Structure formats: structure tokens, C-alpha cells
Amino acid sequence: MTADARLDPPPGLAARAFARLAALVLPLAGDRPEPAELRRVLVVRPDDRVGNALLTVPLALALRDALPRARIDLLLARRRAAVAEGLRGVRVVQFEKTDAFRHPLRFVRFLRALRSAGYDAVIDAAHWHAFSLTSALLSRIASRRWLVGASRGASHLYSHAEPPPPPDMPELQAKLLLLRGLGLSPPAAPALQTALGIEHASWAAEVSRDLPVFAALNPGARKADHRWPAVRFAGLARALRSRGVPSLLTWGPGEESLAREVAESSGGAAFLAPPTDLARLAALFRRAALVVTNDTGPMHLAAACGAPVLALLHAPEGIRWSHPGPRFAALVYPEVEEAAAAAGRLLDRAQAAVEPAGR
């Protein structure tokens, strides 16, 4: 069989050794449970990135809807647990990887509690293209009967290893293919949701008091090569102002100077937002008429908040991380004019959706 070129290299020798040891000392017993038998299911995604945590939420929600009698737990990195907290029918389990060396006793107690939780099935929801030893080991520790994961290295750890998704399938839908390992069908319309920001609605209203209608522009990104140039963000802000929509520039740690550069180049079309944490950023996105962002965590956060989103991708491969529906548009390294036209279409669609409700 020809290897799938989309997959990362297989895990190294040390990772394979740990995986073999885990399979030996943590055996799985029993056949796949029928959906009606499932009372406790755990989804594991300890990655510390905002987007990866958010993209796992629809899997937990799909399990909640398919298994109304089961308790659905979602293990997330402690710093990102808030993206799923407050969602009906999903219980968040917070994981702190640094406890392994900072607080070893607490870490051991966490693993013991995970092992004794009595999960009927566990899903390792790490990337389908790259093996995560941390996610795989946590999943194996939590599982006593049935364990589902992606077939991208050390597949012997799993009771069911789901093959890679079809080419060009968006990540949001690809993640849901793991449901097949429990005998469930993936939903046709996955829901990206978060309750983040709702509690800061009054704060966001005060911040944008002088901007009843605004676009939120987020020019930063964790990876520098994922950033659309600041001068183009400034040009887009000017284009949006020409149709009566000023811009509010949001920024994360280490990105204030970038946001200021955009503001200073925009000719007064864009204004700097105050510092925000993730929840306050979500609150601003919920009020925005449009969010424009690079291929980064805030792109997924804005989509989860229900905002119209224009995603500016650095390469065609980024389409994999896009979202379905008329409120999301993605462009690969566009010129300002192309981005402005796409932004205008999103604004028009959003306005058209509001007008019938107001009549």
C-alpha cells in the first residue's frame, strides 16, 4: 500500500517504545460497545492551541446529541478549557501537562482519577495527520474497554484506527469521522460553538460604544509567515471605512506594535482595541459586523462566536481549516481589492439576514 503523503513521518523510536509499553501494561478488554451501552465517553485533545481545542468541540457535541443518555467528557489543556465550558451536555476535564515535572504527585493523582473514571469508550482526537504521544498515552490510560484514534502511527494502541479522511475534506468534518469507531454516523452539519465572551457582553459594548457598527481586524498570528501584511490590513480598513464601517484592531501578546502599525497606516480608519484575554476577544467578535483574521486561533474563535469571518490564508493548504456556510469566506494571500470585495459580500449577506427579521 502506498503511504499517504499527507501524513507526517511516523513516530520515532522512543515514542514507539512508549506506545508499546502502554499497550502492554494497559490492556483493553471487550468488544466495541453498542451505542445504547455507552454511559461515559471521553474525548481527548490536550493540545494547547486555541484553534485545535475549538475544532474538537463539535465532536463532543455530536456525541452528546447521538448519545443523550451518556455523559460526555472533553479533556482539554487547562489554558484552553474555557472554549468548551458552559456548553450544555459536555463536561470539561482540565489537563496540565507541566504538572508532570512541577507537581508530580498532583499529576499522578490526575492519571489515577482518569484511569478509574470508568469510561466505556475513549476517542483520541489528536490530528489525523500527526501522531501525538501525549494524547495517545492519556487516551490509553483512560480507556479500559474501547479506544478510537486515527491511523497515523502506533495504531496498535487503538481498538479502532480510523483511516485518513478523503482529500480536501475540511478539518471540522474530518474530526467527526472518528465517530465511526463507535458505530455512529458523523453529522452532516457540524456545529462550531463556544460560550466564551457572553459574560463580557457589557464590557464589549462599552469598548465599542462609539462604533455601533465595526469590523474587527486581527492582523496577528502565532506564525509570522501566516500574517497578511500590515499595509494590506490598513488598506482594507480604508476600504471598509469607505462603506461606513470603521475597524477595531484586536491583538494578542506581543502583537501590539503590529496592530499600532496598521492603525497608523490606516489614515484614521482603524482604532486599537484595548488588551484582551480570550474571553474578551470573543466578546468583541460577538459584536462585530465582520471579523477579518489570518489563519490562526482567532479565526476559529470568531466562527464559533457566530461572526461573519473573512480568513486570509497564507497558502492553499490552509483551506483545510476553513468553515462551511455563507458566513465564512477564505482567500489565499489576496490583494486589498479582492479582500475588500469579499468583505463587502459578507457584510451584505449579514445585513440581508437581519433585515427580514426586523420587518
Concatenating the DSSP letter of every residue in 227-244 gives PPPHHHHHHHHHHHHTTT
The CATH number of domain 198-350, selected from 1.10.150.20, 3.40.50.2000, 3.90.550.10, 1.10.10.10: 3.40.50.2000
Stretch 321-342: mean pLDDT, rounded?
95
Per-residue model confidence as pLDDT tens digits over 67-89: 999 999 999 999 999 999 999 99
CB 339 within 8 A of CB 331: yes
Give the Cα separation of 60 and 67 in Å (integer). Answer: 10
Give the Cα separation of 239 and 241 in Å (integer). Answer: 5
All structural domains of the chain with their residue ranges: 13-182, 198-350
Instruction: Provide the pLDDT for residue 333.
Output: 95
Q: Provide CATH code, domain 13-182.
A: 3.40.50.2000
Per-residue model confidence as pLDDT tens digits over 229-245: 999 999 999 999 999 99
Instruction: Provide the pLDDT for residue 206.
Output: 97
Stretch 201-222: mean pLDDT, rounded?
96
| Cell output for 183 | 458505530
Instruction: Provide the pLDDT for residue 153.
Output: 80
Mean pLDDT of the residues in the chain: 94
Instruction: Provide the pLDDT for residue 238.
Output: 98
% of the chain beyond a pLDDT of 70? 98
Stretch 293-302: mean pLDDT, rounded?
96
Stretch 160-189: mean pLDDT, rounded?
94
Instruction: Give the pLDDT band (50/70/90) at residue 356.
Output: low
Per-residue model confidence as pLDDT tens digits over 130-157: 999 999 999 999 999 999 999 988 888 9
Instruction: Provide the pLDDT for residue 131.
Output: 93
Instruction: Provide the whole-model pTM.
Output: 0.93
% of the chain beyond a pLDDT of 90? 86
Instruction: Provide the pLDDT for residue 67.
Output: 97
Per-residue model confidence as pLDDT tens digits over 10-39: 888 998 898 899 999 999 988 999 999 999
Instruction: Provide the pLDDT for residue 355.
Output: 64
Instruction: Provide the pLDDT for residue 80.
Output: 96
The three-state secondary structure class of 163 is coil
Instruction: Give the pLDDT band (50/70/90) at residue 125.
Output: very high
Q: Do domains 13-182 and 198-350 have the same CATH topology?
A: yes
**Secondary structure element (H or E) that encloses residue 148, with its range:** strand 147-150
CB 92 within 8 A of CB 196: no
